[in-house]
Structure 1
C-alpha cells in the first residue's frame, strides 16, 4: 500500500525523529516563530498529529530581536532512560542548548547551555554512559565538530575536535550519530539547503573517528534532476519495531518556471536500504517520489483537525503560531467570549518585531482561508485583517483600516522595497468576512458579508512566486495569519475574530 510525500506539508523543515516502543515522535525547526520546535506523534510514520512544542516560554526561547530566518535552527530529538531530550541552537542569542522532559506532551526544562560553537547539535548516548555533542562548525567548509558532555549540566568533558569534513560539499551540517552493528555512523547534510542539498554518510569503530566516507555518497540527493521534489537532505534515521530502517528528511516542492517554492521546506519519508557491506541508501538509490509504493507500518490515521476554529476553548490549538515572543496584552481568548481578540501594538507587519499576529502554516498549494472579523478602527492608521506572510518585506493582506477619518477596506502588496495599497473602498458594516483562495501560482483575496449568501467579492490578487524563498530569501514558509496594528502606537480599538477556517482543496 502506497503513501504520499510529504508527510508534513508546509513549513516543517529539519526533521528529527525518535521511537519509543510503538510510538514515533518528530520535531522540526521554527526559526523566529513561537512557540518553538513543533512536536508531532505517529503510530505508522505516515499519519502525524501535532502534540505541542518543546519551547513554550520566553525564558526558553527569547526571540524579541530575532531577524527573519534566525532564532531556532535544526533540532535533534532523542529518548534515553525514560527522558526525552531536544537539542537545538538559538542563533539570535545563546547558541547551542538542550531541554528535557519525562512527558513529551508536558512542559520542557529550561535550557541547558553547551559551550560549543556551530549549529544543528546532535546528542548521542553511547553504551558506556558517554554522551557526545556533535555540531556543524557553523562555517562553510570546516566540517563537523564534537565533544563529550555531562548530560546533567551541559559542561564539556573534552576538547571540541573536528571529526569529519564531509565529501567536499559546502556547509557540512546537520550531523546525527548512530551505533549500528558495531559501527558508528555519522550522517550529515552537505551542499547548503538549496537545490544542491544532499545527505552523506561515514562510519568508524569509534564515536570520535576517524571516519571513513561511503564510496557511494551521496545517499540522498535530487540535485541536477527535474523531479518534483527538490533540495532533499538534512535526514535522520529511525528503526521501526519490525526491524526496517526509515529516514525523515527535508525537501521542497517548487512550482512554475523558473522554479520557486513558497510553502517552505517540508518533511518527507523514505525507507533506508542497507547493502552487503553495511552501507545505507535512502529511497530508490538516493531518490524519493511523491508516491511511495511501500507501507511502513499498519495504517493508524488520527481524526482530522477541524477546518474551523471558533475560538471557544481556553487555549489555542497546537497549530497556531505567533511571530516572535507575543505580548500577553496583545491577544486574548477570554476578553470576548468565543472570539480571538487582537490589540494592535506599535509593531507593524513591516517591522522586525512581535506584532499582534496569530497564524497557521499554509500546508496546501490549493486552499481557502477565511475569517469573520469585527473591527472599528478609532484612529487613522489602525488596521486589522488577514495576511499571507513570508517575512516583514514580503507579504499581502486584506484589511480594515481608518483613512482620513473613514473606515476603509484595503488590499495591499508588500514586495521588498515596493509597497502599495492596490485597492480600497469604504466599509460601513460592523463585520466583514475576509477571504483568501490559494492556487499554486497565485492568491486571490476577497470579502463577503456574513449575513449574505454567495461567493466572496474579488478584491485583489498576488503571485505566489513573489513570496517564494528564491525571491524573499530565508528558510521559512508562508503563514496565513490574523493580525492587528496601531502603526506606530497602540491601537485604540481591538479586533475581534469570530472564527477562522482553513479548507484544503488538494
Structure 2
C-alpha cells in the first residue's frame, strides 16, 4: 500500500503538474524568477521523489532577466505524447506562452517555442496553459484568460475565464480564435485548467477562488475536448477555507493514476502557523490526496498532513553544484564557481536589495531549520541569508573585521554587529518555534542569527520575528530560499550544513 507523504515535495514547489509514463511519475512545478527553471521530479513509487533536472538550464529558454518580481515561469503542465515529453508554461512578463519538448524528462529540453495566435502577431494571451490531444491527434491548449499585457490594475485585472484553442504544434500557432469554456462556480480567478479523457468522457479540472485562503478545485464534464461542459453538483471538490485543517490554500490540482490503481490529485497548499494560522513560512508546497469516482464524477479527499522525517544536508564543495541550487534571474554558474573544494562568489556591486544579487541558494524545506556555513572572508565581504525577494530578507554577514545581522522588510531595516577576529567564520541562521513569553496569537517562527569565530564560542546577534518572511506578509508566489552571497570582493564558502524537521 502506497504511503502518501504530505508535503509530497517540501518547500517552495507550487503549481504542481504530474504525468505517468509506464510505472514512473514525473512532476513539474513553478519557479518564477529563479533559475534553473521548472524542476522535474521523478518517482517510481509515489513516495520517494528525486530531482532529476530542470526544463530551463540555458540562458534564453526563459526570459526572466528583466521580469518583475513574481513574474517568470508560471504553472507548467507536463504530459507525454507520441514518445516525447511536452511541457507548456507561461513565462509571465517574459517571453510569453511556451512549449518545450524532451525525449527524456531529465533533459535536455528544447529551447522553447512561442505558442502564437492564429494571425501570428504575438503569443497566446493567458496563463496556466494545459496541453491535451484527442483520439484523432488534434492538440488543444486550454488556459486561464488572465490578461498580463497593457495597463493592469492588480485589484481588478482583466480576466476572460477559462479559454481554449486548437494548436498546430508544427507551426506552434493557434488554428482558431480562443473560445470560452466552463469557468467554474463564479469564484474569482478561474485558472489552472487540466483536460482529461477518462472512460469516454472529457473532464475539465480548474482552480478558482484565488491562490490564498479561498483556493479550491472544481470540475466539469463534457462529451468532447471542447465541451460543452457541465459542472459537478458537488463543486468545489476540495477547499480548506473556513476549516481547521493544517494545510490551507489547497487548489491548483492535477489528476493522475497512481500506484495500485488509485487515482490521486497532486495540488498546492501551505502550512500556516500562528494563533490565527496567518503565516505560511515556506510558501506554497506540493501535496497529494486520494481521488474516488462516484457516479461519473471525481471526489477529492481533504489533504492530510503526513510529513517526512527530518533531513540533514552536508555539502563540502568537492564536486559541481547539484540540481537543488538556484539563483535569482540568472543561473548559479553565473553567480558562483566551485574552486579547490570551495564555493567562490565574487561581488558585482549588487546587494540582497537588488533584483539580481550575487546569491545562490537552496529552498528551506522544513518548518524548523538550522543552517551553518563556514566562510572565508579574507578577500571580501559576504554572508548567509534567507530570502523571499529583494524587499524581504534576513542575513548574517562577515567581512572587514565585523559580523552583522541584518533584517530588511519592505524598507524597515535593523542591524546588530559584533567584532570578528580572523578571516574564517561559521555563520548561523536558525528557524525555530517562538520561545517562552510569546503572546497567544503568535508568529510562524523566530530566526536566530549568529556566528562562531575560529576556535571560539557561538555568539547570537539577533532574534527576529519570522512572520515577515511568510507568503502572506511578503505577498509572494515563491518561498524561503536559504543561500550565500557576496557584496564586496570575493568570499569562499568552505562548507554548508542544513538540518531540518517538521513537528
What is the TM-score normalised by the length of structure 1? 0.90
After superposing the two structures, state which structure 1 stretch, 178-187 or 56-65, moved more: 56-65
Q: Which runs of 5+ in 1 are unaligned?
A: 293-300, 486-490
Q: CA deviation at 1:436?
A: 1.6
Q: CA deviation at 1:374?
A: 0.3
User: Match for residue 53 of structure 1?
Assistant: 54
User: Match for residue 216 of structure 2?
Assistant: 198
Q: CA deviation at 1:142?
A: 2.6
Report SS of the residue matched to 2:48. Answer: coil
Match of 1:311 among 317, 330, 344: 317
Q: Superposed, which structure 2 residues align to 1:81-120 within 5 Å? A: 81-115=82-116, 116-120=124-128
Tell me if structure 2 keeps the 8 A contact 1:134–1:147. Answer: yes
Whole-Å separation in 2 of the counterparts to 1:420 and 1:241:
51
Q: CA deviation at 1:227?
A: 1.1
Whole-Å separation in 2 of the counterparts to 1:377 and 1:410:
17
Residues 379-407 of structure 1 deviation map (CA, whole Å, 9 limit, x = unaligned): xxxx30000111111111000144xxxx2
Count residues with an aligned counterpart: 472
User: Match for residue 305 of structure 2?
Assistant: 290
User: Match for residue 399 of structure 1?
Assistant: 397
Corresponding position: 1:177 with 2:195 = yes
Match of 2:453 among 449, 460, 478: 449
Match of 2:140 among 132, 139, 145: 132
Report SS of the residue matched to 2:174. Answer: coil
Q: Superposed, which structure 2 residues align to 1:258-337 within 5 Å? A: 258=276, 259-275=278-294, 277-283=295-301, 287-291=302-306, 307-313=313-319, 315-326=320-331, 330-334=335-339, 337=340
User: Match for residue 433 of structure 1?
Assistant: 426
Residues 25-47 of structure 1 deviation map (CA, whole Å, 9 limit, x = unaligned): 10100001100001101112122
Report SS of the residue matched to 1:470. Answer: helix
Q: Superposed, which structure 2 residues align to 1:407-422 within 5 Å? A: 407-421=401-415
User: Match for residue 129 of structure 2?
Assistant: 121
Q: CA deviation at 1:186?
A: 0.3
Report SS of the residue matched to 2:273. Answer: coil
Match of 2:346 among 325, 343, 347: 343
Whole-Å separation in 2 of the counterparts to 1:21 and 1:327:
33
Tell me if structure 2 keeps the 8 A contact 1:124–1:178. Answer: yes
Q: CA deviation at 1:428?
A: 2.3
Report SS of the residue matched to 1:24. Answer: strand
Match of 1:466 among 468, 472, 484: 468
Cα 1:54–1:304 change in 2 (3 A) is: farther
User: Match for residue 172 of structure 2?
Assistant: 154
Report SS of the residue matched to 1:471. Answer: helix
Report SS of the residue matched to 2:472. Answer: helix
Q: CA deviation at 1:477?
A: 0.6
Q: Superposed, which structure 2 residues align to 1:8-47 within 5 Å? A: 8-47=9-48
Tell me if structure 2 keeps the 8 A contact 1:326–1:355. Answer: no
Residues 328-375 of structure 1 deviation map (CA, whole Å, 9 limit, x = unaligned): 5642113xx0010000112211112x2111101101011211100001
Report SS of the residue matched to 1:494. Answer: strand
Whole-Å separation in 2 of the counterparts to 1:87 and 1:29:
11
Tell me if structure 1 keeps the 8 A contact 2:311–2:501. Answer: no
Q: CA deviation at 1:136?
A: 0.2
Report SS of the residue matched to 1:73. Answer: strand
Tell me if structure 2 keeps the 8 A contact 1:357–1:483. Answer: yes
Cα 1:133–1:366 change in 2 (3 A) is: same
Cα 1:29–1:347 change in 2 (3 A) is: same
Corresponding position: 1:498 with 2:491 = no
Whole-Å separation in 2 of the counterparts to 1:85 and 1:150:
14
Report SS of the residue matched to 1:142. Answer: strand
Match of 1:359 among 347, 361, 374: 361
User: Match for residue 245 of structure 2?
Assistant: 227
Whole-Å separation in 1 of the counterparts to 2:289 and 2:4:
10
Tell me if structure 1 keeps the 8 A contact 2:388–2:476. Answer: no
Tell me if structure 1 keeps the 8 A contact 2:25–2:46. Answer: yes
Q: CA deviation at 1:249?
A: 0.2
Tell me if structure 2 keeps the 8 A contact 1:350–1:392. Answer: yes
Report SS of the residue matched to 1:104. Answer: coil
Corresponding position: 1:478 with 2:480 = yes
Q: CA deviation at 1:327?
A: 7.8
Whole-Å separation in 1 of the counterparts to 2:279 and 2:426:
30
Q: CA deviation at 1:137?
A: 0.2
Residues 183-221 of structure 1 deviation map (CA, whole Å, 9 limit, x = unaligned): 110000000000000000001101111110111101111
Whole-Å separation in 2 of the counterparts to 1:357 and 1:241:
40
Q: Alignment RMSD, CA only?
A: 1.9
User: Match for residue 186 of structure 1?
Assistant: 204
Whole-Å separation in 2 of the counterparts to 1:95 and 1:330:
26
User: Match for residue 488 of structure 1?
Assistant: none
Tell me if structure 2 keeps the 8 A contact 1:122–1:177. Answer: yes
Cα 1:21–1:328 change in 2 (3 A) is: closer
Cα 1:444–1:241 change in 2 (3 A) is: closer
Whole-Å separation in 2 of the counterparts to 1:156 and 1:223:
37
Cα 1:327–1:54 change in 2 (3 A) is: closer
Q: CA deviation at 1:377?
A: 5.2
